[in-house]
Amino acid sequence: MSIYAIGDIQGCFQSLMALLKKIEFDPQKDGLWLVGDLINRGPDSLATLRYLYSIRHAIKIVLGNHDLHFLARYYGLRHKSKTETLDDLLQADDCCLLVEWLLQQPLVHHDEKLQVTMVHAGIPPQWTLKEALGYSAEIQSVLTGNRRNSFLSSMYGDQPCLWTANLQGMDRWRLITNYFTRMRFCTAEGELELLTKESVGAAPEGFAPWFSHPNRKTRHHKILFGHWAALQGKVDSENVRALDTGCVWGGELTALNLATDQVVSCSCSNL
């Protein structure tokens, strides 16, 4: 049995199938971890989500910003964006079933036995792993409860950008969500800068990649993340693995063997 973690798929179904063939993935004996952004922007979000649902017994998922956007679109709480490719999925007969499944997924997954944590974008430097898991559970409770629509309709926005213990309601949920699904650069105190999407060298003054802060409270935990295609899978930080290698942009789709740390990729440019 092997467990593989795979970077942002974003509806690139053929690339996913090619990579799973390359690693000889068998859902009857192997496990698959997915770092979020399963759908959107790529050509076949419906086939991607249907396949993942069919092997749901073998996979662990965290939600990314594109997955949350899809949920907001499904409930009619967000207008169609210029770059989205969700029409086939939203019009599918089984869309409701797939939505209900996604709503059950967390923003952070931790395996105590493997001592590995997975999140879409990152964990801010001021939070411990225990705190991060608690905040993930808080958002998951919102998504499965009667406050779901209020959350999905108001989760967009860059403010507030700095965590304080007295944050409440939508401001609190929005910032938790931004940390877990949109973060790239922040200060050592966790102040977010959400405009810059380039690689490490583009850090605005006073900001740095979330994983690079030396006193980050999760620095001793192994963390897998996606979201940041500009990194091309390269981070100069112990215990951190970046898995978004830009498949939807014609780059690669990457799988990490959690037992051996071996990386396997397939080119997405011809698929």
Instruction: Give the predicted TM-score (pTM) of the model.
Output: 0.97
Question: What is the distance between the alpha carbons of residues 31 and 71, in angstroms, rounded to a whole number?
Answer: 25
* Domain range list for the chain: 3-267
| Averaged pLDDT for residues 102-127 | 98
pLDDT (tens digit, 9 = 90+) per residue, 60-114? 999 999 999 999 999 999 989 889 999 999 999 999 999 999 999 999 999 999 9
- String of DSSP letters for 146-193: TTHHHHHHH--S----S--TT--HHHHHHHHHHHHHT--EE-TT--EE
CA distances from 13 to 40, 47, 187, 271 (A): 11, 6, 36, 9
Quick one: what percent of the chain has pLDDT higher than 90? Answer: 95
7-17 average pLDDT score = 97
d(CA 156, CA 158): 7
- pLDDT category, 271, cuts 50, 70, 90? low
Average pLDDT, the chain: 96
Express each pLDDT in 143-167 by its tens digit. 999 999 999 999 999 999 999 989 9
Q: Which CATH architecture has domain 3-267?
A: 4-Layer Sandwich (3.60)
Tokens, residue 145: 């409860």
Mean pLDDT of 208-226: 97
Dihedral sign from CA coordinates of 214, 219, 222, 224: negative
